[in-house]
Structures are given as C-alpha cells and as structure tokens.
Amino acid sequence: MSVSIVWLRNDLRLSDNPALVEGLRSGKPVVPVFVLDDETKGLRSIGGASRWWLHHSLQSLDASLRKLGSRLTLRRGPAERVLPELAAECGAEAILWNRLYDEGSRNRDARLKKSLNERGVQAESFKANLLFEPWEIKNQSGTPFKVFTPFWRACRAHAPPDAPLPAPKALPAPKTWPASDALNEWRLLPTKPDWAGGLRSAWTPGEDGAKERLGDFLDDTLEDYRHARELPAVEGTSRLSPHLAFGEISPRQIWRAATHRAQPAATEKFLSEVGWREFAYSLLFHHGDLAQRNFRPEFDAFPWAGTGKTLAAWQRGRTGYPIVDAGMRELWATGWMHNRVRMIAASFLTKDLLIDWREGERWFWDTLADADPANNATGWQWVAGCGADAAPYFRVFNPVLQGAKFDPKGEYVRRWIPELADLPDAVIHSPWTASKPPPAAVYPERIVEHGAARDRALAAFQSLRKSA
C-alpha cells in the first residue's frame, strides 16, 4: 500500500500543521520524517544552542506521534537524495511539506519538487509558519515594503489569518516502518563540556512546552506587556521565540489565542511584535541573504575595524560595561537574551567597537536557541544602520544610560554579574565611577570609553557618506 510522506522541518508540532493534515486527508498511511540536511550547499548549519533545542524538540514530537499510533523517522543527509530514496522504499505517492523562505531552502525545495515529479511522486508545499505569505503583502506599487509601519498597517487591513487547524486524533501507520536513525546518533547535545545546564533549567522544548509558555504569558504577563517588555529584570516578554523558530507553535495559534483576550492595547502591541517577524521574513524572501549582504549596499564600503581581542571580550561578557556583559552572559547561560539588551549589545559591538555586524550575527546564530534566519539578520542590520527601516547610524546606544533607564536598580546586572552585587544602584552601570571600583581581577576595566568610541563611529559614518 502506498503512503504519504510528511517532511517536517521548522514545524515540529501536530496542531495547525497543514502538511500533516493533508497527509491524513489523503487516506493513506502517513510517514512523518525529519531530515538533518547539513550537507547541501547554500544551506546554513544550525548553531550549538539550536542543536540542543532540536534534539529535545524531536524527542518530544516523536513521543506525541507515538500516542497517535505513529512515529518519527529520522534520516541524515542531503534531502534531495534522502527523500527520493525514502519514497522508493515506502512506495510513496506524495511528499508533503510546509514552506521555508530563505533562499537556499527555496532553491533546494524547487529542485526537489522537480526531481520528485519526474519520478511520479507528487510534491506539494503549504503555508504554515507565517500569518501572511511574503508575496501577499505589497505596497500600492505592487512591490515589497521596506519600512515596518506601513507593512504592518497593510497586514492589519488584510483579511485576518485563517483559524488554526486542529491536531489529528490518530495517524494511520504503514504496515512496515522505514528504517530510522537513532536520535542520539546525531550527537546534537554537548558532552565535553556539557554547557547546556542553563538551557535545561530555562526551557521546555516541544509543542507542550510552547502551549504552556503561551498560556502563562497570556494569563500572567500580557496585561502589563507594553511596559514590562522593556525591563530585562522581569518576566515581561512572551519568550516564545525559540518555540516559534522550531515551529512548535504557529503564528496563527498565537494570533487566535491573543485576540481572544480582553486587553486590546497590550494585545495590539504584542501582535505588532509578531508582525515584526512577518516583516523580517518578507525581507528575507525578497532580498536574499540577509545574514551576509548589507541591505543598503552603500555600507559595503563601511570602514569596519578588525576584531582583535575586543570581539572575544564582547562574546565572553567582559567589556567592562555591565548591561552589555550581563546580556552576553545571559545568552551563554540560557541560549536567550532580552530584546532590549540585544539591541544594546549589538550597538556596542557595531558602533563602540566598530566590528562588522556579521561577526555578531554569527555569534548569535551559534548561541541563541531562537536563532532564526530572518529575525536574527534583520535585527543585526537594523541596529548597525545598514538594514531596512534601520535605526539611523548616528543612533548609538549609550550602555550606561540604557542600563540606568531599563534596569534602574541593577537587578538584571546583579543576577548575571554577581561580582558587582554589592555596588550601589547609582554606580551599578558605571562601576569605574564607584568610590572603590572593583579591581580588574574581579571585573574588567572598560575596553573602550563610550564617548570616544561614539565619535569614532560617527566619523566612520561620515567618511562613508563622503565617498558615496
């Protein structure tokens, strides 16, 4: 008997999964498969924190599938080779998947569709991980938006997203299951050293963890979201980003759950953050490799400084600026960093240190559990000033003032930099001004003086404008 293969990628859930629903609708046995495609040219291998998350997310998904009488088949290798081989093994008439939007994945998927169709295997893809397809939202000229506010206004004027699809109650199994890799064979988890203790204590990967996170946010946090989301010391954000990155929950599920709450102003602000993700994916779809190429090509001539020892100091949270260092240490420990602190840390790297934004994007890609090809690159280009709807280059975040404004009592800094715990609030963000500054052996001295670094950054920008 023929089967339908459902190829799962960043949609590791049963609810609101159009490819899975279509496989069930076919009336044939369904074979869910995940392919670890880390060999195809043009695709970007996931980072260390994402590998940890992927292991646990796949483990969770397999357990959920087994409750439905199914299971997850794991294969490793180029999908263009693995999937046709699997289709031949299973006698598959169809391979179904949900769409990806980065250039490498789209090109790979187009080649695969052509190859499968030539073999007589139906290949079909579906919208599952965005509210709106990138080609659905255009300006009056019929071209993609380059500024977020009018983009989101157009989204809100569009027909609302469809209702989420229910999870299947059972999945018909094939008579014989194809061979599967063992998840542990992929060695996604760190071992020597095992640096994932902070991730284990902070997160519950998987669809159930995503639903619980959403429920807790809507019940406990949404009401104060507009204010609390800016404060890194409090649980003021949804922290759904890793679950969204792996597709353990869909934007449509978030949209439906949030819009049924009775806090319209807070809900609208929260949905606009979901909208920023939509905007980032529109940019990724229409403008290619955002992680490598400046959106604004005039920045190709920007006089970035070398990395030297300053990049390592930034990565390790040893710049001498507490709000920056606290964020970088939170990132290393938990695979996540508060969004306000991400902006401060990114501004410090690209403007105070004058280090190319791509160095920071690569570090975040490796260390973020929510590393996302659209959001990560768009955020870095926005802060650096070279992206769409970017912050003006002359906007340079002052890490002392930002710390004092958004962490006024130093709670966030003290949590992640305990060696500064005894400093008074007034100097917690500028420890060098304390009556007894901590010795360099306890906490490092500043690697740059912000005022001078800002002047250097603005001079570099002026040189770029003169050469344009």
Catalytic site residue from 357, 363, 365, 382: 357
Question: Cα-flanking dihedrals φ and ψ of residue 200, to 5°?
Answer: -60, -40
* Three-state SS at 249: coil
Active site residue 129: no
* Residue in 223, 273, 411, 432 annotated catalytic: 273
Catalytic residue among 53, 276, 314, 416: 276
Query: How many C-beta atoms surround the C-beta of residue 264 within 10 A?
Result: 9
Q: Is 357 a catalytic residue?
A: yes
Is 382 a residue of the active site?
no
Q: What is the CA radius of gyration of the chain?
A: 23
The DSSP result for 166-191, as a single string, is: PPPS--PPPSSPPP---GGGG--S--
Q: From the candidates 80, 89, 230, 304, give the one annotated as an active-site residue.
A: 304
**Residue linked to tokens 């299971």:** 71
Catalytic, 314? Answer no
- Residue 376 is a catalytic residue: no
Question: Exposed/middle/buried for 142, CB within 10 Å: 0-12, 13-18, 19+?
Answer: exposed
The single residue of 103, 133, 339, 432 carrying the catalytic annotation is 339
Which one of 7, 336, 363, 380 is the catalytic residue?
A: 380
Reply yes or no on whether 53 is catalytic. no
Helix axes 399-406, 339-347, angle to 10 degrees: 170
For residue 117, the surrounding DSSP H or E stretch is helix 103-118
Burial of 259 (0-12, 13-18, 19+ CB in 10 A): middle
Distance of CA 225 to the CA centre of its chain: 20
Q: Which residues contact 108 (CB under 8 A, 6 or more apart)?
A: 37, 40, 42, 43, 79, 80
Active site residues: 273, 276, 304, 339, 357, 380
